[in-house]
Amino acid sequence: MQFKAPRTLINLFQHPAIIIAWIIGLCGMIANVTLLITIWKRYQATFKKGWFKKELKTVELYIINLVFVDILGATYLLIIAVANTVYDVHDTRGKLPSSNFSNIFTNNSKPVSIVNRWGIHPLCNIARFLYFLSLTMSVLITLLIAIERWLVVLGSLKTSEVNRTRARVILILCWLFCIGKALYPFIRSIVVLDRVKNQTRSNLMLCLLADPDISNVRYFNTINLNIFYISYVLCILIYMLLLIKMHQARKITLYNSKKPQVILAKTMALITVCNLFSNLPITIIIICRMRGLTIVFNPNFTHASAICIVLMFVSTISNPIIYINRNHQTTNRSQRRVRMRKL
């Protein structure tokens, strides 16, 4: 008797995006929750009255917001990963799985199937909102951190002198802007529901912008790309100037007095580079689609698109790991210095 693997296992092997979504979603959620707990315990240990009695440093305020944004990104991945399992295996009419059921990471060959129910599901619309909110907010917070590092490391301001009220106002404005931008695909998908409910394109199945008007999709994608790469280019320029200035100032006492801030600046520079590279593949795919290249009709292109969309959220894992590692190194150095002074 020949063993036949369940359909879900076949899908796992046929489409790596499913495995990647589960790994990044779960690991990203665990890593960011761990980082939040670490920050909380550090403040609880240092200040007995709790961290809300102590004013957060501006960069810590940004980092905490970045952690919450990464949690939103990990939530998006877990939603589509769970949806793939549910809509690939279970038919609400009680029928067994069959070859007519395609996973949400690929285009379905059938014009109407159970998978279409996921594309118009309210939870898919929530995932759509989380997708655009988390990506844009992550980029803007990364830019804010780069500017703050410049002011603290090379500017005349100290960490304690950076206006926290101004930082909070800027963060609120960024959140409002990103929420407003994420509401457009959220509302637009509801408006055009009757026109897209029978579609099985990957952008609908993965809860991206669902719009039968291609010009709207192109315009929205152009805005996203401009926000992403203008912000990343500015971040890279700031960190490059920081590295040059820090290299020139190694023998200056001011550099040594701000060494913890320098380490944090290098940490955030590494995070920025990781985020930039995670967005490059999907950028190439978006440009190919916007220009209407024939390669977009290749089935392998659809598989590659799904993988690249999932990989955009690899920063949900890399960001907390890099920060925790560098923070641990800084803490160990401080403890060694304290022990040396006691000797």
Token reading at 269? 């520079």
Query: What pLDDT was estimated at residue 2?
Result: 41
Whether the per-residue pLDDT at 100 is higher than 50: the answer is no
Segment 244-292, tens digit of pLDDT: 777 666 645 444 555 566 666 666 677 777 777 777 777 777 677 666 6
Q: Report the C-alpha gap between 90 and 82 in whole angstroms.
A: 12
Sign of the torsion angle spanned by Cα atoms 218, 219, 222, 223: negative
Segment 116-143, tens digit of pLDDT: 577 778 888 899 999 999 999 999 998 8
Q: Residue 293 gets which letter from DSSP?
A: -
Nearest residue to 209 via CA among 222, 276, 288: 222
Q: Report the C-alpha gap between 62 and 264 in whole angstroms.
A: 13
Computed over every residue of the chain, the mean pLDDT equals 72
Query: What pLDDT was estimated at residue 307?
Result: 81
Query: What pLDDT was estimated at residue 284?
Result: 74
Q: Report the C-alpha gap between 225 and 73 in whole angstroms.
A: 18
More confident residue, 281 or 181: 181
Token reading at 289? 């689609």
Domain-located, residue 343: no
Confidence category of residue 151, pLDDT binned at 50, 70, 90: confident
Spatial contact of 310 and 21, defined as CB atoms under 8 Å apart = yes
Mean pLDDT of 220-246: 83
Nearest residue to 277 via CA among 318, 238, 234: 318
Mean pLDDT of 2-19: 52
Which residue is associated with the tokens 């949806």? 83
Token reading at 296? 């977009």
Token reading at 335? 């403890």
More confident residue, 47 or 270: 270
Whether the per-residue pLDDT at 325 is higher than 90: the answer is no
User: In sequence order, which residues have a C-beta less than 8 Å from that of residue 192 and are 6 or more positions away?
Assistant: 210, 211, 212
Confidence category of residue 78, pLDDT binned at 50, 70, 90: very high
Q: Residue 54 gets which letter from DSSP?
A: S
Number of domains in the chain: 1
Confidence category of residue 95, pLDDT binned at 50, 70, 90: very low
Domain-located, residue 166: yes
Nearest residue to 139 via CA among 267, 21, 229: 229
Token reading at 83? 């949806």
Report pTM.
0.78
Which stretches of 114-249 are assigned E, i.e. beta strand?
none
Domain-located, residue 341: no
Domain-located, residue 342: no
Spatial contact of 220 and 209, defined as CB atoms under 8 Å apart = yes
Sign of the torsion angle spanned by Cα atoms 151, 133, 205, 194: negative
Nearest residue to 268 via CA among 248, 229, 242: 242
Mean pLDDT of 1-23: 59
Query: What pLDDT was estimated at residue 216?
Result: 79
CATH code of the domain containing 251: 1.20.1070.10
Range of the domain at 183: 7-106+113-334
Q: Report the C-alpha gap between 88 and 319 in whole angstroms.
A: 32
45: exposed, middle or buried (C-beta count within 10 Å: 0-12, 13-18, 19+)? exposed
Residue 49, SS3?
coil
Mean pLDDT of 69-98: 72
Please give the backbone phi and psi of residue 209, each rounded to the nearest 5 degrees, phi first.
Answer: -65, 120
Domain-located, residue 16: yes
Range of lowest pLDDT (196-210, 231-245, 253-267): 253-267
Nearest residue to 102 via CA among 15, 189, 19, 21: 15
pLDDT above 70 covers a percentage of the chain that reads 60
Segment 17-42, tens digit of pLDDT: 888 889 999 999 999 998 888 888 77
Query: What pLDDT was estimated at residue 97?
Result: 40
Domain-located, residue 339: no
